[in-house]
Amino acid sequence: MRIINTAEEMQRTALSLRAAGRKIGLVPTMGFLHAGHASLLDVCRPECDVLAVSIFVNPTQFGPNEDLDKYPRDFDHDCELCESHGADIVFAPTPETIYAPDHSTWVVEEVLSKPLCGRTRPIHFRGVATVVTKLFNLTQAQVAVFGRKDAQQALIIERMVRDLNIPVRIIVAPLVRDEDKVALSSRNRYLSAGERGAARSISRSLLAAEQTLTVGGAAAAAGEVEKVRAAITDAGGTVDYVEALDADTLSGVTAGSRRVLLAAAAWFGATRLIDNIMVEYK
């Protein structure tokens, strides 16, 4: 497994791999990898000849009062996980090699980025769309895998790739949960034992809602939103949002909605967690 630390070396390597006819797959991450990330590598591995994993805590997707400086890191463990899941390249650039000091070009998706996390994190998806575009250009990936854990992010990337004719096939892999059903997240590391216990209220209530929505149809969505909100609040969490939206448009659920996304974000102490379920209707 090769470790690449500069944008320039990544692109040079990728272009020569492409010239040799190799198909490159990319799993973009911010590191501190866990079994959720590993599942993305496992999905990507059979889809490509060369599996690249990027590890980059992207400063432009963090707001001024967010956790950029304390975002957890463990590069050695990350490399072990990547190697054991078949990665060929770990691309771990420093911010300086990704962003020129006078960087002034952004990729902005203007509709799907507005609700849910976009409301409290107004610059977040601009940072994500921009860095993912850069990672696609640097790695020359033909296929990339994202997790349903960040359902809104995955939708925005799919929309961006479609709208800008970016020649990358996007695969969205299932959300991976811990044994207690809490969604795996690098940020779970911040939780105290008590907060971790309280955080189970999100997954528990969302999974109950998933069953109700599967049986009861999209009309049950409004009631389930209230139940999830109450479960989080009762456990001592502070709700950022709980919303049920049409998963293709991220606008309100209608009788014709093909997929419903029920998404939640909540604070447990100083830690903001997100989770979601998605129900598909025939």
Short-list 151, 146, 70, CA closest to 117:
151
Q: How far is the CB of 184 from ligand AMP (least distance, A)?
A: 4
Short-list 233, 185, 179, 178, CA closest to 205:
233
Q: Which stretch binds ligand AMP (CB under 6 A): 10-18, 84-92, 180-188, 211-219?
A: 180-188
Q: How far is the CB of 255 from ligand AMP (least distance, A)?
A: 30
Cα Rg, the chain, nearest whole Å: 19
Q: Which stretch binds ligand AMP (CB under 6 A): 9-17, 178-186, 191-199, 244-252?
A: 178-186
Q: Which stretch binds ligand AMP (CB under 6 A): 71-79, 95-103, 142-150, 256-264?
A: 142-150
Interface characters, 34-63, with ligand AMP (x: CB under 6 A):
--xx-xx-----------------------
Nearest residue to the partner ligand AMP, using Cβ: 147
Among 146, 225, 273, 274, which residue interacts with ligand AMP (rule: CB under 6 A)?
146
Nearer to ligand AMP, 85 or 149 (CB): 149
Is position 90 an interface residue for ligand AMP (rule: CB under 6 A)?
no
Q: Are 225 and 212 in contact (CB under 8 A)?
A: no
**DSSP string over the chain:** -EEE--HHHHHHHHHHHHHTTPPEEEEEE-SS--HHHHHHHHHHGGG-SEEEEEE---GGGS-TTSSTTT----HHHHHHHHHHTT-SEEE---HHHHS-TT--------STTSSTHHHH-TTHHHHHHHHHHHHHHHHT-SEEEEEGGGHHHHHHHHHHHHHTT---EEEEEPPPB-TTSPBP-GGGGG--HHHHHHHHHHHHHHHHHHHHHHHH-GGGHHHHHHHHHHHHHHTT-EEEEEEEEETTTSSB--TT-SEEEEEEEEEETTEEEEEEEEEE--
Is position 124 an interface residue for ligand AMP (rule: CB under 6 A)?
no
Tell me the number of residues near ligand AMP by CB under 6 A: 17
Q: Which of 37, 77, 85, 103 is labelled catalytic?
A: 37
Among 17, 30, 50, 161, which residue interacts with ligand AMP (rule: CB under 6 A)?
30
Q: How far is the CB of 74 from ligand AMP (least distance, A)?
A: 12
Among 166, 170, 183, 264, which residue interacts with ligand AMP (rule: CB under 6 A)?
183
Among 149, 159, 229, 272, which residue interacts with ligand AMP (rule: CB under 6 A)?
149
Among 54, 130, 185, 188, which residue interacts with ligand AMP (rule: CB under 6 A)?
185
Q: Is 37 a catalytic residue?
A: yes
Contact residues for ligand AMP, defined by CB under 6 A: 29-30, 36-37, 39-40, 146-147, 149-150, 173, 175-176, 183-186
Which residues are designated catalytic? 37
